[in-house]
Amino acid sequence: GNSVTQMEGPVTLSEEAFLTINCTYTATGYPSLFWYVQYPGEGLQLLLKATKADDKGSNKGFEATYRKETTSFHLEKGSVQVSDSAVYFCALSAWGGGSEKLVFGKGTKLTVNP
Amino acid sequence: NAGVTQTPKFRVLKTGQSMTLLCAQDMNHEYMYWYRQDPGMGLRLIHYSVGEGTTAKGEVPDGYNVSRLKKQNFLLGLESAAPSQTSVYFCASRPRDTSGNTIYFGEGSWLTVV
């Protein structure tokens, strides 16, 4: 079946530190890959996505590259800010049972301290 | 821009009571979803719908029922609430047209069953 595994948190960093949150997936076929972010008290919102191998999604200084050979979609940011504190979810979109569904990882909580 | 709207936002129920969560989207999306979010579990799909008048079970459907009588609305019902259904519930929607489309989330409904 389809599944997503992302590194467990929580992750605590100082402002301007480098961030990596690992995400690997298992899927049949060719899924699309996503990172969603959830700020405290809010719903999830799309951060970035990649729909085919070697694509790089980027937004707000975050990047992730769709690596088919390693089945990975690691999230990176060169210099985090306090405002990046949130929970980050890796997800894949794949067909199953006649429709396309999202499968989420368990989320990684990031806290950035000033 | 309303997007995906969930009501109510907060609710406390006694064990055995029933209630309905309403999700409304104004983006003319075909697909709608109900997820629950629990600590350490990420998001788990309860039920989903690929169009008006159709519903299907997700990963954790037991204890819930859904209806999609109108394209813009997706209702989640708890017939006899249990403490295990204490959670944050998220509705989401997306268009059907192409693979990898962004999914849009509501802001969540916090439900406590005592």
Give the mean model confidence (pLDDT) for residues B19-48. 93
Specify the amino acid at residue B84. S
Q: Do A104 and B103 touch (CB under 8 A)?
A: no
Instruction: Tell me the shortest Cα–Cα distance from B11 to chain A, in angstroms.
Output: 15
Q: In angstroms, rounded to a whole number, what is the distance separating the alpha carbons of residues A113 and B10?
A: 30
pLDDT band for position A102 (cuts 50, 70, 90): confident
Q: Are residues A74 and A20 in contact, defined by beta-carbon separation less than 8 angstroms?
A: yes
Q: In angstroms, rounded to a whole number, what is the distance separating the alpha carbons of residues A70 and A33?
A: 14
DSSP assignment string, B89-105: EEEEEE-SSSTTPPPEE
B98-112 tens-digit pLDDT: 556 678 899 999 999
Residue A30 has pLDDT above 90, yes or no: no
Instruction: Tell me the shortest Cα–Cα distance from A31 to chain B, in angstroms.
Output: 8
Interface test with A, best of B7, B54, B68, B99 (most A CBs within 10 A): B99
Instruction: Tell me the shortest Cα–Cα distance from A93 to chain B, in angstroms.
Output: 6
Instruction: Tell me the shortest Cα–Cα distance from A84 to chain B, in angstroms.
Output: 18
Q: In angstroms, rounded to a whole number, what is the distance separating the alpha carbons of residues A97 and A104?
A: 17
Of A20-34, A67-81, B93-107, where does mean pLDDT reach its minimum? B93-107
Q: Do B103 and A51 touch (CB under 8 A)?
A: no
B56-103 tens-digit pLDDT: 999 899 999 999 999 999 999 999 999 999 999 999 998 886 556 678
Contact with chain A for residue B108, Cβ under 8 A: yes
Give the chain A residue nearest B37 (alpha carbons). A106
Q: Of the candidates A34, A99, A105, which has its C-beta nearest B42's C-beta? A: A105
DSSP assignment string, B59-86: SS-TT-EEE-SSTTEEEEEESS--GGG-
Contact with chain A for residue B39, Cβ under 8 A: no
